[in-house]
Amino acid sequence: MAKILEVKNLRTTFFTHLGEVQAVRGISFDLEEGDILGIVGESGSGKSVTSLSIMGLVDEPGRIVEGEVLFEGLDLTKLDQKEMSNYRGNEISMIFQDPMTSINPAFTVGNQLREVIMTHTGMNKEQAHQRALELLTMVGIPEPETRIKNHPYQFSGGMRQRALISMAIACNPKLLIADEPTTALDVTIQAQILELMRDLKTKINTSIILITHDLGVISEICNKVIVMYGGMIMEKADIISLFDNPQHPYTRGLMLSVPRNVTGKKARLIPIEGSPPDLMAPPSGCPFSPRCQHAMEICLKKAAPLFKISDTQEASCWLHHPDAPEVKGFVKVAGEK
């Protein structure tokens, strides 16, 4: 499989008047053609800033301070805004969390959709109109001929998200980034949208990065996962390894803190004590160390590299070091990656 995206040592910092907020602190990952990569993390983990960095949408006072974003081998961070806009919407596009604020309320859905198509493909208005109808049908909007004349307020939340997806896929992008696309939606609508995304992946052959805080959503449609915390990658794995055998204490903590719901006796939830790190003054070692029950002296001083557990799984935790004490369930590996 060809690599469509390579992120190398990406570092994005916001220079606010209160100090530097290190939102993304040196992360690297690859995306292969046809992957649906899930990035899971809590608020402040850096997952959204990662996606904005890829899209070249980090606004002042934020800046990519280090690293490369290679899209089909070309470093997007070196492009100026004009060059970047040839990629944005064409090759890479994005769906945001809140379908109401990312769509213009003053124009009809058709108007906005045609604009996207005409800007990027050079079609005339009539052709763009036909293409818009085709797209609305593809994303499952009933009676597209009528709906295309509607304003966004006449759409329900789920329909707006469908309309946004239709704009995002208008130019058959090679990469689609979806930032919490279903968080604002009800579960029955969420199931519809996830079904639609799965379906679109095969129809238009796009690779997807799905950002979410919900491990359930991840396991529904992703084949690979990155777990982020405090601006760093804690674990990267294929979906089966991650859920079968999580190799980072944070990943485990996340999985234990959601209800397992067995009938009969109620099992108590096992929370992760403490709260997420302050990114203004991140802990010097592993960002999870202040909350980690296995934390050792080295964890507080130095963040662990990604240890390669298997061909499909890497975890950034010192417990995998050959000299670390034995902890049940954590595999030790000979060398660092």
Partner 1 sequence: MENRIPLLEVKNLKKHFITGVLKNRKVLTAVDGIDFVIYKGETFGLVGESGCGKTTIGRTIIRLYNPTDGEILIDGIDIAKMSEKELKPYRKKMQMIFQDPYASLNSRMTVTDIIAEGIDTHHLLEGDAKQERIYELLEKVGLKREHASRYPHEFSGGQRQRIGIARSLAVNPELIICDEPISALDVSIQAQVVNMLEDLQDEFQLTYLFIAHDLSMVRHISDRIGVMYLGKMMEITTADELYENALHPYTKSLLSAIPIPDPKSSIRDRRVILKGDVGSPINPKPGCRFASRCRYAKSNCFEVTPELREIKEGHFASCHYIEEINGI
Q: Is residue 269 within the footprint of partner 1 (CB under 8 A)?
A: yes
User: In the structure encoding, which two tokens stand for residue 91, read together?
Assistant: 């090759």
- Residue among 159, 170, 200, 227 that touches partner 1 (CB under 8 A): 159
Q: What single-letter amino acid sits at 203?
A: K
Residue 58 DSSP SS3 = coil
User: 273: which 2 tokens?
Assistant: 């004590």
Q: Report DSSP letters for 161-226, one per residue.
A: HHHHHHHHTTT--SEEEEESTTTTS-HHHHHHHHHHHHHHHHHHT-EEEEEES-HHHHHHH-SEEE
Q: Which one among 186, 199, 297, 336 touches partner 1, defined by CB under 8 A? A: 186
Shortest Å distance, C-beta 272 to partner 1 = 4
132 or 210, CB closer to partner 1? 210
Rounded to the nearest whole angstrom, what is the least distance from the CB of residue 84 to partner 1 in the complex?
Answer: 32
CB-nearer residue toward partner 1: 89 or 287: 287
CA–CA separation, 37 and 290 (whole Å): 28
Give the range of 23-31, 52-60, 88-96, 188-196 binding partner 1 by CB under 8 A. 188-196
DSSP summary character for residue 248:
S
Indicate the DSSP class of residue 321: S
- Least separation in angstroms between residue 262's CB and partner 1 is 9
- Closest of 203, 161, 204, 201 to residue 181, by C-alpha: 161
Among 2, 18, 106, 187, binds partner 1 (CB under 8 A): 187
- Interface positions, 209-268, toward partner 1 (CB under 8 A): 213-220, 239-240, 243, 253-255, 257-259, 261, 263-264, 266, 268
Residue 143 touching partner 1 (CB under 8 A): no
**The total number of residues written for the chain in this structure:** 337
Q: Contact between 34 and partner 1 (CB under 8 A)?
A: no
With respect to partner 1, which residue has the nearer C-beta, 61 or 274? 274
Select from 84-92, 150-158, 167-175, 310-318 the region that touches partner 1 (CB under 8 A): 150-158
Instruction: State the virtual CA torsion across 200, 204, 208, 212 in degrees, nearest 10.
Output: -20
Candidates 49, 109, 132, 272; binder of partner 1 (CB under 8 A) is 272
- Amino acid at position 307, single letter: F
Among candidate residues 58, 49, 218, 271, the one with its CA nearest the CA of residue 226:
218
Residues lying near partner 1 in the complex (CB under 8 A)? 42-43, 156-159, 186-192, 194-195, 213-220, 239-240, 243, 253-255, 257-259, 261, 263-264, 266, 268-273, 275-276
